[in-house]
Amino acid sequence: MGTPFISLLEPTRLDGYDRTKPHTQQPSHIPPLFIDAMEVRETVFVTEQQWPLECEHDADDARSCHWVTYASVNRTTRAEVRDPTTNEVTQPRQSETRSMPIGTLRIVPFPHPPHPPPGGRYVDGELQQEADDEVHASPADERRENADMPFGNDRATTFHDGREPYVGVGRVAVVPEFRGHRVADQLWAAAKRWLEENPAYFNPSVSSLGMDRLEAAAATDIPKWNGLVCTHAQEAVVKVYQRWGFQVDEGMGKWTEQGIPHVGMFMRLQVKETDPKI
């Protein structure tokens, strides 16, 4: 593998993206980097892990930052041909080098819907309400679950007091043939560096959203990010996140998404104190 490089796409409108179709059949105005991220995500989550294609693109994609790792990959476009009697090359091999997207990761800003309830079962991104269960969302949680800006309090867990704004790391994926080379570590290093350099980037603006929408009664309630990062990790890859400094949040419990067991993990980045955006 040549030296991979990483590119960033900041939040952008993705209107017109058709989530029922693969990345190869999207409108031409969709940014190429996002198409590349979807190429990786479709390979990993849809083809390998068998998630439905429609679940792969969601409303968080437009408001998230996306990082994509590219590797220079050389492939044969026309095979060498030899004369069978003389063994001389009659047509030389032709090849092309392509920057191939091999890994991706996104950072989702706050606010987030409520923490998944312990024992919850998500199918196609929707929490299933079991007939006989203890897993019932409160009316406040249901309202936040369906809100486009789900500000408001959450339940407290081991590492989250239920109030503090946090960003989410998600859709971490490396295509199978490039695994085991710490590609995901490099993606996280790029995202972490960016977060440390831009701690106020996701702070919402009071003048454009208003105090009510921010669920802020006083100036001290105006949400601002102070370095807290969460991930919903597939249990099988907890070790990768632990290496990055995340710890499993026992209080958040376990839940399943498309039948895959998940746990919550948190870490805190040391970031400069910022002022809320007025």
Helix (H) or strand (E) holding 228: strand 228-234
Q: Is the dihedral of CA 24, 54, 35, 180 positive or negative?
A: negative
- Of 21-29, 31-39, 144-152, 180-188: span binding ligand COA (CB under 6 A): 180-188
| Cβ count near 151 (within 10 Å) | 19
233 touching ligand COA, by CB under 6 A = yes
Among 38, 167, 174, 195, binds ligand COA (CB under 6 A): 174
CB nearer to ligand COA: pick between 126 and 185: 185
Query: Is the bond preceding residue 176 a cis peptide, omega within 30 degrees?
Result: no
Among 37, 127, 167, 173, binds ligand COA (CB under 6 A): 173
The dihedrals phi and psi of 131, each to the nearest 5 degrees, come to -65, -45
- Of 24-32, 131-139, 140-148, 173-181: span binding ligand COA (CB under 6 A): 173-181
Give the number of C-alpha atoms closer than 13 A to the C-alpha of residue 79, restricted to the C-beta side: 2
Hey, what are 26's tokens?
């999207």
CA distances to 31, 45, 70, 95, 99 from 73, rounded to whole Å, are: 22, 22, 9, 10, 6
Among 237, 250, 261, 272, binds ligand COA (CB under 6 A): 237
78 touching ligand COA, by CB under 6 A = no
Total residues in contact with ligand COA, by rule CB under 6 A: 16
Q: Report in angstroms how near the CB of residue 190 gets to ligand COA at its nearest.
A: 13
Residues 202-221 that bind ligand COA (CB under 6 A): none
Instruction: Write the interaction track for ligand COA spanning residues 1-40; mark x where CB under 6 A is met and - where it is not.
Output: ----------------------------------------
CB nearer to ligand COA: pick between 14 and 173: 173
Q: Report in angstroms how near the CB of residue 12 gets to ligand COA at its nearest.
A: 23
Residue closest to 195 by CA, chosen among 107, 111, 274, 277: 107
- Of 2-10, 172-180, 194-202, 247-255: span binding ligand COA (CB under 6 A): 172-180
- Of 73-81, 118-126, 170-178, 268-276: span binding ligand COA (CB under 6 A): 170-178
**Angle at 271 (CA atoms; ends 269, 7), nearest 5 degrees:** 75
Q: Report in angstroms how near the CB of residue 48 gets to ligand COA at its nearest.
A: 7
Amino acid at 264: G
* Region for 51 from its dihedrals, namely left if φ exceeds 0, alpha if ψ lies in -120 to 50, beta otherwise: beta
Q: What span, in angstroms and rounded, lies between the C-alpha atoms of 152 and 140?
A: 9
Residues 84-123 that bind ligand COA (CB under 6 A): none
Question: Parallel, antiparallel, or unpaired for β 167-174 and 228-234?
Answer: parallel
Binding site for ligand COA (CB under 6 A): 44, 172-174, 176, 179-185, 233-234, 237, 240
